[in-house]
Structure 1
């Protein structure tokens, strides 16, 4: 059985200075610097979300007054092996964050012809090219709870649109 929709809710590292620990991030495109996504869609296709889910995520963030970010994310399957030169290059290009899964999730959904969207939580920031140990910060738990409410609100918005 093929699902009707795929979603992802995850933690990863931001690479822009204006992104704080706990801020929600909505990937507009996953820049594919890994191998998994190429098993699902060809190189010439972009790994992107479904527009209706993207809009529902933004609407849900606004309904909670969340300071959220929308933009490209860099995907690598080499955890904790981000080189300084690549981080700096993607920072200069305005990429919001680095993670390991978004392109695979988007590509699988495109391949299966199902709707897809992701909301990601900044749990770290590589602006200084050193770990900020965001998972250990007290404010992250509150941010996770708020982001979970945003995810639930997104589902409500999507169910209203479909009915």
Structure 2
């Protein structure tokens, strides 16, 4: 049985898994897999690690759960979603980190995305820009219940997904110290439109899954906020810990719905 090219997985070794969690960081795949094993009393196994794609297999409520990292940005995320769909995965949840742009959102909060502003390019190769990048309602429900159960402060709303970390998010700490005119003022505009956060993969994941008749969702942990450009080690740890806790708790609700 041939493996898909980039992920180095095949339909046999994922053992019938239909749900995939998609962290960006490949090292987060192991952390999530081990946390699921500890929470639900099941084992885990690393299946492959090729380039930015690190995959583990575990189990929740009798259902196999695949954890596959996507790397950074829409292009690599699109490869992960497409190849996993080829293998039979039907439900995709991005589990990542994010920067908040609304003042009332704090470090360590989690953001559950209902839809994404498509500031990326990869998603346009799957659907025209007019096509909405929307999350599946069952996944949104499960993520909300997981955050509630974990007693983690959460926010539900719109995310902006940028292809670039510095320019597209109008950051002031880039090398060039200059933002192209098309991005100047974009943060203020997004804030006025009640967009909650910046990240880099949600619009791609949600556009691909919705357009292919699959289920997609996104939960991110806040590790910095506008006006605090530097991401400290403590902020990253807090955001990741809360993110993983809420995401793992949501699996019980998600598997109940899909089971």
TM-score scaled by length of structure 1: 0.89
Separation of aligned partners in 1, 2:245 and 2:165: 28
Root-mean-square deviation (Å)? 1.6
How many positions carry a matched residue from both structures?
Answer: 159
Q: Which residue of 2 aligns with 1:69?
A: 155
SS, match of residue 135 in structure 2: coil
Say whether residues 1:159 and 2:255 are aligned partners.
yes
Separation of aligned partners in 2, 1:120 and 1:9: 6
Please report how far the alpha carbon of residue 143 of structure 1 lies from its aligned counterpart in structure 2 after TM superposition.
4.0
Separation of aligned partners in 2, 1:20 and 1:162: 32
Separation of aligned partners in 1, 2:240 and 2:106: 13
Please report how far the alpha carbon of residue 124 of structure 1 lies from its aligned counterpart in structure 2 after TM superposition.
1.1
Match 1:107 to one of 200, 207, 215: 207
SS, match of residue 29 in structure 1: strand
TM-score scaled by length of structure 2: 0.58
Structure 1, unmatched stretches of 5+, are none
Q: Which residue of 1 aligns with 2:107?
A: 21
Say whether residues 1:52 and 2:138 are aligned partners.
yes
Could you say if the C-alpha distance between residues 148 and 79 of structure 1 is closer, same or farther in structure 2, counting changes exceeding 3 Å? same
Could you say if the C-alpha distance between residues 85 and 149 of structure 1 is closer, same or farther in structure 2, counting changes exceeding 3 Å? same
User: Higher helix share goes to which structure?
Assistant: 1
Q: Which residue of 1 aligns with 2:216?
A: 116
Structure 2, unmatched stretches of 5+, are 1-86, 171-182
More divergent stretch after superposition (27-36 vs 76-85): 76-85
Separation of aligned partners in 2, 1:155 and 1:113: 21
Pick the structure with greater CA Rg.
2
SS, match of residue 41 in structure 1: coil
Moved over 3 A (4+): none
